[in-house]
Amino acid sequence: MADSPLHSALSKVGDRWTLVIIDALLHGPLRFNDLLETAAGIAPNTLSSRLKALEGAGLVIAQAYSERPVRYEYTLTASGKELAGAISLLTAWGAGDSDAVETPRHTLCGTPLEVRWYCPTCDREATRDDEAWDV
């Protein structure tokens, strides 16, 4: 298990606050105090350590906007932005059947979007019955 891709992903984002921070940054760069407000309930020392870990994992960039005292604005890297889909899926799954979470919609027609596994070579949707799911 320690060498699995899932273990690798969880080591980067698998704690209580990390995905909340990434979700907040998906809407654009934020400063430390803005993140404290957005991630209500997180302690400042916890936020600081999570941001350092995310920066070390290459998911967040800290850019100084003030030198005295040194203060930073935090932005997601391209790799951090790639987590948007996973966060949306987890949010929808966590909401279950409740109406508490707005499902992403297609801007052209307003229909709720659905996630599907798709094979571009075969031009077909993959299902659990396909061998691709054998692990």
- CATH code, domain carrying 38: 1.10.10.10
What letters, b where the CB count within 10 A reaches 16 and e where it falls short, cover 93-120? eeeeeeeeeeeeeeeeeeeeeeeeeeee
Enumerate residues 6+ apart whose C-beta is below 8 A from 19.
13, 83, 87, 90
- Side-chain-side CA neighbours of 60 within 13 Å: the count stands at 30
Identify whether the C-beta of residue 84 lies closer than 8 Å to the C-beta of residue 26. Answer: yes
The tens digit of pLDDT for each residue in 13-38 reads 778 899 999 999 999 999 999 999 99
Q: Tens of pLDDT along 59-117?
A: 999 999 999 999 999 999 999 999 888 887 787 777 776 666 677 789 999 988 777 78
Residue 128 lies inside a defined structural domain of this protein: no
pLDDT, residue 133, reads 55
Helix (H, G, I), strand (E, B) or coil at 69: coil
Is 74 among the domain residues? yes
Question: Residue 76 pairs with which residues in a beta bridge?
Answer: 60
pLDDT exceeds cutoff 70 at 1: no
Structural domains of the chain, count = 1
Is pTM, for the whole model, over 0.95?
no
Q: What is the DSSP string of 88-116?
A: HHHHHHHHTT-SSSPPPB-TTT-PBP---
Backbone angles phi, psi at 64, to 5 degrees: -70, 130
- Answer whether 61's CB lies under 8 Å from 74's CB: yes
53 lies in which domain range? 5-98
Residue 2 in this model has a pLDDT that exceeds 70: no
pLDDT at 132: 57
- Predicted local distance difference test score (pLDDT) of residue 88: 78
Name 26's bridge partners. Answer: none
Neighbouring C-beta atoms of residue 20, cutoff 10 Å = 19
Identify whether 111 is part of a domain: no
Q: Does residue 94 belong to any structural domain of this protein?
A: yes
Residue 121 lies in a domain: no
Task: Classify residue 116: in a domain, yes or no.
Answer: no
Residue 56 has pLDDT above 90, yes or no: yes
Tell me if 115 is assigned to some domain: no
